Structure 1
Amino acid sequence: MKNAFYLLIGLFLFLLAIDLIGNSFKLLNKEVVESILQLTSNPFIGLFIGLLITALIQSSSTSTSMVVAIVASGSIGLSEAIPMIMGANVGTTLTSTLVSLSFITKKEEFRKALSAGVVHDFFNILVVAILFPLEYYYGLLTNLSSSISTLIVGNNYGSIQSEYGYSVFTRPIIDWITGLFPFPIILSILAFAILALSIKVISKILYKTITGGSKEVLQRYFFGGPYRSFLWGAAITAGIQSSSVTTSVIVPFVATRKIKLKQAFTFIMGANVGTTLTALIAATFKSEAAISIALVHLLFNLFGVLIFLPFPFIRKIPVNLARNFGRRANDARILGFVYIIFTFFVIPFILISYTNARQDRVELTYEINKKSNGETNFKKIVVKEFDANHLNHWFVYEGLKTKEEATDVPTEILEAYYKKNLMILDNMVFKLGSINECWSGSDELGNYNICLKDMEVVYKRGSLTLDSVYAFEKRYSVDSLGWEKIYVDPVRQIIVKSLLYDDAGDLTSSEVLVELSKL
């Protein structure tokens, strides 16, 4: 009973420390997370943003929930969110690396602790290096997660929102501490001290409770083989629903030679799989996007396990990398701090800035005329392109009274790409095939057909001239909804003109491109 009480105290302190780290980050700039997320316009930035945000707020569950909410709102798509989930898997490993720094005063223990801390980093980084190109070029995780989610639950998803977490217990204390010390740096130092203390308490109690203080029992029953330690890692993490706790507790075990680094690594792989249970349970009561993202999280970690666990020679790669890093950092202990600062903060910031600067950006200005009331307004779209043959993004600003007006926050973010004679804008497909070739689709208004009516049309508007423009007609199955004529430039991946007609064939509104400028 006494041990159980101390264990609960240790877990509470751990969660308090994680929450305090996140709160100290928010004090720096309460809007910085939203601002960073709005920068996401290509998979590389998404990867680094996922890593950076998770490292800053010290909770992959929180950052993943943020991504789910943004996807559910329609601001970004699943393919855009997946790199962020990959980055979150790397960012969450910072916790165990931070814990290893608490052994810095003991040379031999520090070497082993740091190796145990960074082996999680190296494993997830290697998995990202393998899976990210497969997702970028072939949409591996996007296609798999979408297919599985449809197979499991069909096309009808619940809309019930289920949110729960430990913050309801820690929040009053966090608010009280923040009121006493409203300084981010002081709060971060305090959080790190509580984190280190809580992990030492948890690891000591668990060791005594589970093994009776016997190293032999620990080795025989929990780490007797790679598959046994993997299963225990998955089971324990699924039970307590926090990989941060289980992977951090392993660090003192390795530091004090209770288990070997290679045994800790297979346990960590199990913890990676076990932590996906929380998202899967929560996603059951959410949207299609939530289910797909939860499956992405599971598939990412399962692929990592399938690549490393069955093959001893491959399993040695992250272990040897971590062991060598521990030796080098033991000779120059400042290396541990430098590694954390650069890997989780400096490098992501630099890469986000670099990849964002490499993007081509075009601003489109549309004039919108409504015949019913004679009203005229404008719409601006900023098209960001990182790879001409990959995904582009439209940042839409609607309801502008003048051509110069625009808000800081877009009203909508759409995905567009052109590949194999297909231009896809959000969920609408334009095929560059034969004249009068038609295909079907659906949106919130109902089912429709899109037919190609003309090609190689030249569009002129003042000084603006575009060639290779294709004309399409979009007609709904219900005549009363009218029909639309859409002119598309697939090379630039833009809509040039949209004309809306009623069922009698009279023009009701028009949206035409009046300016195109490179930013």
Structure 2
Amino acid sequence: MTSNGFATGNETPPPPYENGVTNLGYSFSNGDIAMAEKALEVNVEKQKEEKVEIEMEKTEPDPWKISEVYIEVTPWNELSSCGKFKRVTWDYFGKLVVLVGLLYLFICSLDFLGNAFKLIGGKAAGDIFKQSDVLSNPVAGLMIGILATVILQSSSTSTSIVVSMVASKIVPIRNAIPIIMGANIGTSVTNTLVSIGQISNKGEFRRAFAGATVHDMFNWITVLVLLPVEAFSGYLFHLTEYILDSMTLTTNKGADREFLKVLTNPFTKQIIQVDSNVIEAVANGDADAMNKSMIKHCCKKGSVDVTYVNTSTPDNRTYIAKESICLEKCKYLFEGAANTLSDGEIGAILLVISLVLLCACLVLIVKTLNSLLQGKVSLIIKKFVNANFPGVMGYLTGYLAILIGTGLTILVQSSSVFTSALTPLVGIGVIELDRMYPLTLGSNIGTTTTSILAAFAQSSSDIRLAFQIALCHLFFNLTGILLFYPIPQLRFPIKLAKFLGNQTAKYRWFAVAYLILAFFLLPAAVFALSVVNWIAMVAVVGPILLLAIAVVVINILQNKAPMALPMVLRNWYFLPEPLRSLKPMDRLIQKIVSCLPCCANNGEKKEKGEQTGEWKSTTKL
């Protein structure tokens, strides 16, 4: 066996085998010996094949960097007058206008997607929030935050609900902190979903999925570190309490502003309008809110004085009370459908529409970007976006990217929109993963302004509690950045995202499996266990967590210091193939897919240039 743990094929016990008895003194039949030798040969061949695959992957060009662009362009002086006019009007300005329009529709589709999930599961999410006895368990609170944010498709909505519940003293601050952590994880489902839009190209999908999941990995790792710290020490609670003791707070009812809505509302409000106050009312324990429709019918309300006469008294006493009336009814596409369809049915229709619009926009955005960002233009943009400051100042480039990500997220008031818009750019190679990481960290800071603005909109008596939970959200992200960004060796999210990207490049179905497992099945299972009792959760999750840690440590030692491990642990070949590889699952899925009429011939098609992920075009511009 070699130093790397691979069998050399010369380790078969030496002959002679006399009368079925080996030279070690153990009895074997000749048939057993033949079967053992054949099994050993097959195992050696498999190891050699896998070793060759690993070596080939090492010698391939770096799939995370695109340095070469192949493009055939007709020189300007060879173009006709019509060709020159077309290049200026369409290739330069027309495509840019189309790209802006597609980005607008893409953002609107995310808004429709969020409204669809609110209509389908908004009340259920609000009902989860009011389980105050469950929220005392930090793990349950974390999973509630993940599931609620995935259902609502908006961390802004879920954090605003938590802020209002804390301000109303329904949920103590220490119980609300894990929910905020969970909301941070749940919000990254949107850009992970968006990355699947580039599944048709192996190289682009690898980079896009990694660019999306670097957000997930940062949030998960930060939670794994800070949730136990918070549970045992109250780090965020005491830090924010100390800060608030030195501040004077004043309420500002006009603080809750959403700048991007000014641009998208004129279109989205013509399609659907959802009353998110119903979700908040359900979360705050309003029993009547469960029977209210989330479809908004009244766009402008007012109050009038109503006089009541008590005829049961001799002097017919009169009472004057203020009542709310509708001054202006809402007019939009789905408003009339609310009379015949339930909220869930309208939400399901809107979900299909939003997903179709989202996928169409993604495909067209990628094609338009590929067409625009070619030749010298692409190289200039790539160099500008991914370049570092000269000399020793290069270390500060990432911090500038964090500030840019923070500012742009504050502008659009949504980390999902910001990171989802960047994901296709990572896929086509304009933004590298190393630059996407600090931009994502900045978006995590920027999205905390939503809860801060929501806190300032509370009454003067409630603003302190609301602002404290908003600060917990801010310092959770700042602490994560301090842990996993300044030291390059500790930027684990990048390495984990690359691992996930490589897996999706090999097995396309892995992306869907990851999405379902990370954002639905795993949180739901852990939540169910945590609701039962701590013992059940620790008994199930504890061994799995310890096994995962052991696997990670052994993998690191296999790559960095294999001689420190016993011979058998220097690789995973001692395990059956299903326990060390996704290939058996891939073969099963390929067989199932090949049986489908629509997918029977897809497996035979090979993509050009997907090994290197390079841009290739023969279109004459």
TM-score by length of 1: 0.62
Trace 1:323-362 onto structure 2 (pairs within 5 A): 323-358=498-533
Could you tell me which residue of structure 2 aligns to residue 230 of structure 1? 402
Amino acid of the structure 2 residue aligned with 1:195? L
1:29 Cα deviation from its structure 2 partner: 4.7
> How many angstroms does 1:38 deviate by?
2.4
Q: Which amino acid aligns with 2:120?
A: L
How far the C-alpha of 1:24 sits from its partner, in A, is 2.6
Q: CA deviation at 1:116?
A: 1.0
1:144 corresponds to which residue? Answer: 239
- 1:314-463 superposed matches below 5 A: 314-315=490-491, 317-358=492-533
Shift of 1:41: 3.1
Map residues 219-298 of structure 1 onto 2, 5 A cutoff: 219-225=382-388, 226-286=398-458, 287-298=463-474
Q: Secondary structure at the match of 1:272?
A: helix
Name the structure 2 match of 1:310.
486
CA shift, 1:17, in A, is 2.5
Deviations 1:355-392 (A, max 9, x none): 111169xxxxxxxxxxxxxxxxxxxxxxxxx99xxxxx
The number of aligned residues is 359
Q: SS of 2:165's equivalent?
A: helix
Q: Distance between the aligned counterparts of 1:242 and 1:248, measured in 2?
A: 10
Partners of 1:222 and 1:232 within 8 A in 2: no
Q: 1:275 to 1:197 in 2, by over 3 A?
A: farther
The one-letter code of the counterpart of 1:264 is: M
Instruction: Tell me the residue number matched to 2:153.
Output: 58
1:33 aligns with 2:125: yes
Q: 1:52 & 1:213 partners in 2: Cα distance?
A: 45
| Distance (Å, rounded) in 2 between the aligned partners of 1:9 and 1:60 | 26
Q: Which residue of 2 aligns with 1:81?
A: 176
Summarize the Cα distance change of 1:201–1:153 in structure 2 as closer, same or farther, 3 Å threshold.
farther
Q: 1:172 to 1:77 in 2, by over 3 A?
A: farther
Residues in 2 aligned to 1:161 and 1:288: alpha-carbon distance in whole angstroms: 17
Deviations 1:73-115 (A, max 9, x none): 1110111111111001100011110110001111221111111
Aligned AA (1:334): W
The residue number in structure 1 matching 2:541 is none
Answer yes or no: is the 8 Å Cα contact 1:68–1:290 preserved in 2: yes
Preserved contact between residue 97 and residue 114 of structure 1 (Cα < 8 Å): yes
How far apart, CA to CA, are the structure 2 residues paired with 1:49 and 1:306? 26
C-alpha separation between the residues in 2 aligned to 1:218 and 1:268?
A: 19
Gaps of 5+ in 2: 1-92, 274-332, 389-397, 539-621
Q: Indicate yes or no: 2:272 matched with 1:174.
A: yes
Give the whole-Å Cα distance in 2 for the aligned partners of 1:211 and 1:282.
Answer: 43
Q: Quick check: which has more Rg, 1 or 2?
A: 2
1:30, distance to aligned residue in structure 2 (A): 5.1
Distance between the aligned counterparts of 2:487 and 2:380, measured in 1? 26
Q: Render the CA deviation track for 1:1-25: whole Å, top value 9, x for unaligned.
A: 9789757644543443233223333
User: Deviation per CA, 1:412-458, whole angstroms, max 9, x where unpaired?
Assistant: xxxxxxxxxxxxxxxxxxxxxxxxxxxxxxxxxxxxxxxxxxxxxxx
Deviation at 1:140, TM superposition (A): 0.7
Deviations 1:183-216 (A, max 9, x none): 5444333322323444567788899999998334
SS of equivalent to 2:126: helix
- Is the Cα contact below 8 Å between 2:163 and 2:454 reproduced in 1? no
Higher-RCO chain (CA-CA 8 Å, sequence separation at least 6): 2
Q: 2-side partners of 1:5 and 1:313: how far apart?
A: 42
Secondary structure in structure 2 of the residue aligned to 1:214: helix
| Match for residue 194 of structure 1 among 354, 357, 360 | 357
Residue 166 of structure 2 is aligned to residue 71 of structure 1: yes
Please, which moves more after superposition, 60-69 or 257-266? 257-266
Which AA in structure 2 matches 1:187? Answer: L
SS of aligned partner of 1:173: coil
- Do the aligned partners of 2:145 and 2:180 also contact (CA within 8 Å) in 1? yes
Q: Which residue in the other structure is 1:467 paired with? A: none
Higher share in strand: 1
Is the counterpart of residue 23 in structure 1 residue 124 in structure 2? no
Matching residue of 1:118: 213
Q: Is the 8 A contact 1:46 1:80 kept in 2?
A: yes
- 1:36, CA displacement in angstroms? 1.0
Q: 1:347 to 1:258 in 2, by over 3 A?
A: same
C-alpha root-mean-square deviation of aligned residues, in Å? 3.3
Confirm or deny: 8 A CA contact 1:141 1:299 kept in the other structure. yes
- Give the Cα separation in 2 of the matches to 1:289 and 1:160: 16
Question: Contact 1:145–1:292 (CA<8 Å) still a contact in 2?
Answer: yes
Task: Rate the CA distance shift 1:49–1:212 in 2: closer, same or farther, 3 A.
Answer: farther
2 CA distance for matches of 1:63 and 1:234?
A: 20
Runs of 5+ consecutive residues of structure 1 not aligned to the other structure: 361-385, 388-519
Letter in 2 for 1:335: F
Q: Which residue of 1 aligns with 2:225?
A: 130
Q: Which amino acid aligns with 1:320?
A: K
**Aligned-residue offset at 1:340:** 0.8
Counterpart amino acid of 1:173? I
CA 1:353–1:6: 2 relative to 1, 3 Å = same
AA aligned opposite 1:340: L
Q: How far apart, CA to CA, are the structure 2 residues paired with 1:259 and 1:29?
A: 35
When residues 215 and 327 of structure 1 are mapped into structure 2, their CA distance, relative to the original with a 3 A threshold, is same
What TM-score, normalized to structure 2? 0.52
1:323 deviates by 1.1
Give the stretch that moved more between structures: 103-112 or 196-205: 196-205
Name the CA distance, whole Å, in 2 between partners of 1:17 and 1:90.
21
1:48 paired residue number: 143
**2-side partners of 1:231 and 1:308: how far apart?**
16
Name the structure 2 match of 1:365: none
Which residue number corresponds to residue 330 of structure 2? none
SS in 1 for 2:431: coil
Aligned to 2:77: none
More helix by share: 2
Take 2:201 and 2:382, find their aligned partners in 1: how far apart are those partners? 24
In the alignment, residue 456 of structure 2 is paired with which amino acid? T
Q: Which amino acid aligns with 2:154?
A: S
Q: Deviations over 1:325-367 (max 9, x none)?
A: 111122221111111111111111111111111169xxxxxxx
Q: Is the 8 A contact 2:138 2:178 kept in 1?
A: yes
Displacement of 1:252 in angstroms is 1.3
Answer whether contact 1:85 1:297 (CA < 8 A) is retained: yes
Q: Report the Cα distance in structure 1 between the residues aligned to 2:159 and 2:365, rounded to whole angstroms.
A: 26
Instruction: Give the conservation status (yes or no) of the 8 Å contact 1:51–1:344.
Output: yes
Aligned equivalents of 2:209 and 2:251: distance in 1? 44
Cross-structure match for 1:478: none
| Corresponding residue for residue 51 of structure 2 | none
- Is the Cα contact below 8 Å between 1:19 and 1:174 reproduced in 2? no
The residue correspondences of 1:207-222 to structure 2 (distance < 5 A) are: 214-222=377-385
Change (3 A) 1:244 1:6: farther
Q: Aligned in 2, Cα 1:211/1:111: closer, same or farther, shift over 3 Å? A: closer
